C-alpha cells in the first residue's frame, strides 16, 4: 500500500501531496516517515535552481546514497544528509547557531518544482540527493508559490512535511 506525505508552505497556505518511493528508496522513505511531522524555515536554493527546502536536525536513521540524482525533475522530493563542515560556510547565509551549524550535521528535505536543476556546489562539487518521493497532486500550485518565494523572499516562511 502506497504511503503519502503532505508538504506545505505555511505562510503561503499552499500544499502538495507526494507518494513515498518505498520501492526505489525504502531506507530513506522509512527514515523520513518515522521522523514526521517536521517543520523548519523554508529556503530557496542558491545553487540548484528550482528547489525549496528546509534544514532539520539530522535524521539519525538517514541512509547513505539511495536512489540518488544530481538532476532532479519537477515533483522530486529529496533528502540530503550533510556533515557539519559541508554547509557551515558563512557564504551560504545561514544564521550562526542555526541547524546548518549543528555539530551532528543536518538533514535537508527538498522539493523540486521545475526543470533544469543541477546539484553542484562550487565548494564541494556534486551534491547527490536521495529521491524518496514524487509529488502527485498540487505541483502546479506549489510551483507558483515557490516562484513567489524566489521573487519575493522566504523570510518568515516555514516548510512542513507530515504524513498524509
**What domains are defined for the chain?**
4-163 (2.40.100.20)
Residue 129 has which C-alpha cell? Answer: 540527493
Q: How confident is the model at residue 38, as a pLDDT?
A: 98
**Start-to-end Cα distance in the chain:** 13
d(CA 28, CA 73): 18
Residue 20 has which C-alpha cell? Answer: 513515498
Phi first, then psi: give them for residue 39, nearest 5 degrees.
-150, 145
Q: How confident is the model at residue 67, as a pLDDT?
A: 98
Q: How confident is the model at residue 86, as a pLDDT?
A: 86
Q: Are 5 and 150 in contact (CB under 8 A)?
A: no
Q: Could you tell me the CA-to-CA distances from 20 to 60, 119, 150 in Å, in that order?
A: 19, 21, 26
Q: How confident is the model at residue 34, as a pLDDT?
A: 96
Q: How confident is the model at residue 116, as a pLDDT?
A: 96
Q: How confident is the model at residue 40, as a pLDDT?
A: 96
Per-residue pLDDT of the chain (164 residues; tens, 9 = 90+): 999 999 999 999 999 999 999 999 999 999 999 999 999 999 999 888 999 999 999 987 767 899 999 999 999 999 999 988 888 888 888 888 889 888 888 999 999 999 999 999 888 899 999 999 999 999 999 999 999 999 999 999 999 999 99
Amino acid at each position: 500500500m502506497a504511503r503519502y506525505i503532505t508538504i506545505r508552505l505555511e505562510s503561503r497556505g499552499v500544499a502538495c501531496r507526494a507518494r513515498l518511493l518505498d520501492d526505489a528508496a525504502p531506507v530513506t522513505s522509512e527514515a523520513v516517515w518515522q521522523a514526521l511531522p517536521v517543520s523548519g524555515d523554508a529556503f530557496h536554493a542558491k545553487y540548484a535552481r528550482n528547489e525549496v527546502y528546509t534544514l532539520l536536525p539530522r535524521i539519525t536513521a538517514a541512509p547513505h546514497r539511495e536512489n540518488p540524482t544530481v538532476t532532479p525533475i519537477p515533483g522530486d522530493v529529496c533528502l540530503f544528509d550533510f556533515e557539519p563542515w559541508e554547509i557551515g560556510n558563512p557564504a551560504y547565509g545561514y544564521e550562526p547557531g542555526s541547524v546548518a551549524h549543528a555539530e551532528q550535521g543536518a538533514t535537508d528535505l527538498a522539493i523540486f518544482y521545475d526543470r533544469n536543476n543541477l546539484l553542484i556546489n562550487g565548494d564541494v562539487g556534486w551534491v547527490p540527493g536521495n529521491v524518496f518521493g514524487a509529488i502527485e497532486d498540487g505541483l502546479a500550485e506549489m510551483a507558483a508559490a515557490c516562484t513567489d518565494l524566489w521573487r519575493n523572499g522566504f523570510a518568515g516562511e516555514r516548510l512542513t512535511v507530515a504524513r498524509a
